[in-house]
Amino acid sequence: MILHELIDYETLRLIWWLLLGVLLIGFAVTDGFDLGVGTLLPFVARTDTERRVAINTIGPVWEGNQVWLILGGGAIFAAWPPLYAVSFSGFYLAMFAILFALILRPVGFKYRSKRDSARWRNNWDWALFVGGFVPSLIFGVAVGNVLQGVPFRFADDMRIFYEGSFFGLLNPFALLCGLLSVSMLIMHGSAWLALKASGPVAERAGRFGSVAALATIVLFALGGLCLWVGVDGYRITSEISTTGPSNPLFKTVTTEGGAWFANYAAHPWLWVAPAFGFFGALAAFFGLRAGREVSTLLFSKLSIFGIISTVGVSMFPFILPSSLDPRSSLTVWDASSSHMTLFIMLVVSAIFLPIIVAYTSWVYKVLWGKVDEASVTDKGGHAY
């Protein structure tokens, strides 16, 4: 038997769908609090020293956290080529805005203290705010558009045609999802500051985070209500071949109200995903109000896991529906790389993903402890 045939094509496709979710959730629960702290920076810290405290809670770890975003993009490129082609070309301007905002973050970290000028530092602090807020918003807007369907189609020769626009992405439901993303990551950033910062920064973060946690609950519920009554889902009406060639045109798809809830009707245990989203945010709210630290951050992560998982299990097997031509929608079963490619990537991931997790865990262990004003004003230190 050839080695790669040890795992059948259907199972490999399912594994890579799960791994893509793991990478996206990994990015959200690690770099997500970096984005949340950046968004909160002008509001939880009122003096230069307080802002340095907030910045130094994420300064040593944000680069490592961003590895998960790179891994996610690489996984899409290698495991789901049609998804990469459609999303990275159709969402080009949105991707450019995200990259521009993310580039502001390292520049802001490195340059804000190069001049002893209040105006100079204030401008860079607002750049760090942009670097946190804009990606948080656009990531959520992108998910909202995916749930509604993206205006693309495949020609018979598999050429891709995208007929949307950047401003067309900014529709009411997508903006609702964007606000949910912002509130979720502000909650997460607040939980991180409550754990890692001290003094007024941690106290203000607790107040802002409590509001963000409640907003996350409300917006998550509103999003579910919109999916039930206002946003049509997608359903495959033809026979499904889970081991066939990666050609999305070999199926027929229809849109209908409530279709995104079909998986929950078929498998009621999947309701655990949205339950985690609500419970985690509610527990984070009470944790922030009570001044609990480690458990609050864990509950915040649980909420993120639940919210992102809810999107994945609601859409399965779809990964990018098409509003222009529903049969062109990309699914787990018709948008993957070859059997051999998925197997080789799985072997590589099985080797290197544990190394990344182990290294990241070690870094957090070494950097454990709070950041206070004394540590960032120490002339012999290396604080940002």
Tell me the CA distances in angstroms from 14 to 19, 246, 318, 346, one per residue in order.
9, 14, 12, 12
pLDDT of residue 37: 95
16 closest CA partner among 80, 82, 86: 80
Distances (CA, A) of 57 to 19, 38, 114, 196, 301: 29, 11, 19, 6, 17
Residue 60, SS3? coil
pLDDT at 377: 76
Q: Give the separation between CA 61 and CA 59, rounded to whole angstroms.
A: 6
What is residue 366's predicted lDDT score, i.e. its pLDDT? Answer: 84
Question: Which of the 8 DSSP states describes residue 339?
Answer: H
Report, as ranges of residue numbers, the positions in the chain whose pLDDT lies below 50. Answer: 1
Check residue 7 and give its pLDDT.
84
Residues 6+ apart with CB under 8 A from 206: 190, 194, 288, 289, 291
CA torsion angle 192 195 200 201 (round to 10): -20
Which residues lie closer than 8 Å to 225 by C-beta, 6 or more apart?
A: none
Q: What's the sign of the alpha-carbon dihedral 102, 104, 107, 111?
A: negative
**pTM to 2 decimal places:** 0.93
**What pLDDT is attached to residue 4?**
59
**Confidence at residue 364, expressed as pLDDT on a 0 to 100 scale:** 84
Alpha helices in the chain (DSSP H): 9-44, 48-58, 62-65, 67-79, 81-90, 92-111, 118-148, 172-196, 200-229, 262-266, 272-290, 294-315, 339-366, 373-377
H or E segment and range at residue 319: strand 318-320
pLDDT at 188: 97
pLDDT the model gives residue 169: 87
Closest by alpha carbon to 206, among 184, 191, 218? 191
Using an 8 Å Cβ cutoff, are 105 and 131 in contact? Answer: yes
The predicted pLDDT at position 382 comes to 60
Contact, 19 vs 75, CB < 8 A?
Answer: yes
> CB neighbours (10 Å) of residue 271?
12
Please return the burial class of 141, using the count of CB atoms within 10 Å of its CB with bins 0-12, 13-18 and 19+.
Answer: buried
Segment 225-263, tens digit of pLDDT: 999 998 999 999 999 888 888 899 999 999 999 999 999
The residue with tokens 């998960």 is 68
Determine contact, residues 233/260, Cβ cutoff 8 Å: yes
Tell me the per-residue pLDDT of 204-232, one tens digit each, with 9 for 90 and over.
Answer: 999 999 999 999 999 999 999 999 998 99
Place of tokens 């809670």: 57
Q: 152: helix, coil or strand?
A: strand
